[in-house]
Copies of this chain bind each other. A is one copy, B any other.
Amino acid sequence: MSPSSALPVRGLWCALLTPIARDGGVDHARLLAHARALLAQGVDGVAPFGTTGEGQSFSLDERRAGLDALLAGGIPGTRIVAATGCAALPETVALTRHAVAAGCAAALVLPPFFWKDASDDGLFAWYASLIEKAADPRLKVMLYHLPQVSAVPLSVNLVGRLAAAFPGTVVGVKDSEGNWAHTAALLAQVPEIAVLIGHEPHLPRLMRAGGAGTICGVANVLPGLVRALLTPQVAAGDEARIAAFIDIAFRQPLMAGFKSMLADQRNDPGWLAVRPPLVPLTDAQRSTLRAALAASGLGPAAAGAQQ
């Protein structure tokens, strides 16, 4: 049993896109159908309202109701990581308590992202306060390192301090920086917790080095390809495909692009809407994206072909 088995989040987890209904609210029916489809395609679990899911654009009530809709629809809490981070601690506590009560596998917690120059001591105190106020021995916290978006890095030293101070509670880190040196330092210096990453091209290296898996956005549209990257013998073609896909995915706004791809895969324009300040792709952007994916063999058919 590896030291990181305390975290029941391993393998392939999808950072769910959030479908928007015509009234601007969360489209629970599409959200549930998407989660079910992904689980049927072999995804180990789902993470609603993370960064890919535009989580910070939704209210506490919307995030709670979305999670409840997944549970009510039969997705087990053990297959859900709830992204519970908010700018303010009291609201992070509220969402985290809700997630624990719902039986979620873990709470994925951004640092308080308004404060850009927070010290390790300040961030330690913030996470310690969260754990104290959540006040539930069932709580499993995954720290969320995403400096290119949150603008608040979590240093390896801070992750180590939190893992040491809260064994069995701080049990994982999602490292979405995409900087292998940082990931390697986490694996080496904090071996007692599970390391999951967000940058899919690093997955073969991560799994060889003893990492736990991924919570990623690409799994919304190419779960089979991401699954292939987690296997012991990764085909060179799959490594080339994910590199090509990531290159294409960052040519337009990321979340709107994922939604455009999913809309094409499902033949369902109901997936296109994003919530401001994000904007949907223009028709021209959608055409360009479609052509680039097709040229790389990553068009709509690829989602099924990779299973």
Q: Interface of A with B (CB < 8 Å)?
A: 56-62, 86-91, 94, 111-119, 121-123, 125-126, 129, 149-151, 253, 275-279
Which chain B positions have C-beta within 8 A of A126?
Answer: 276-277
Given A113-B114, A151-B116, A151-B151, decide whether A91 and B59 contact each other with a Cβ distance below 8 A: yes
Contact A279 B87, beta carbon cutoff 8 Å: no
A169 vs B264: C-alpha distance when bound (angstroms): 40
Would you call A57 and B112 a contact (CB within 8 A)?
yes
Which residues of chain B come closer than 8 Å to A277, judged between CB atoms?
Answer: 111-112, 115, 118-119, 122-123, 125-126
- The CA of A117 and the CA of B149, in the complex, are separated in Å by 9
B60 touches A91 (CB 8 A): yes
In the bound complex, residues from chain B placing their C-beta under 8 Å from that of A151 are: 116, 151
Contact call B90/A58, Cβ cutoff below 8 A: yes
Contact A276 B89 (CB under 8 A): yes
Most buried by B among A61, A87, A111: A87
* Cβ-defined contact, B114 with A56, below 8 A: yes
Nearest chain B CB to A159 CB, angstrom units: 15
A278 and B111 CA atoms in complex are apart in Å by 12
Within the assembled complex, what's the spacing in Å between the Cα atoms of A56 and B113? 9
B86 near A87 (CB under 8 angstroms)? yes
A151 to B151, CA, bound (A): 8
CB-based nearest B residue for A93: B59
User: Which B residue sits closest to A111, measured CB to CB?
Assistant: B277
Q: How far is the CA of A62 from the CA of B66 in the complex (A)?
A: 25
Contact assessment for B279 and A121 in the assembled complex, using a CB-CB cutoff below 8 Å: yes
* Complex interface: chain B residues within 8 A of A94 (CB): 59
Please give the distance in Å from A189's CB to the nearest CB on chain B. Answer: 22
A116:B149 contact, CB within 8 angstroms: yes
Q: Are the C-beta atoms of B88 and A278 separated by less than 8 Å?
A: no
Contact B88 A129 (CB under 8 A): no
A114 to B58, CA, bound (A): 12
How many Å lie between the Cα of A279 and that of B122 in the bound state? 6
A62 surroundings in chain B (CB, below 8 A): 90
* A126 to B57 Cα, complex, angstroms: 10
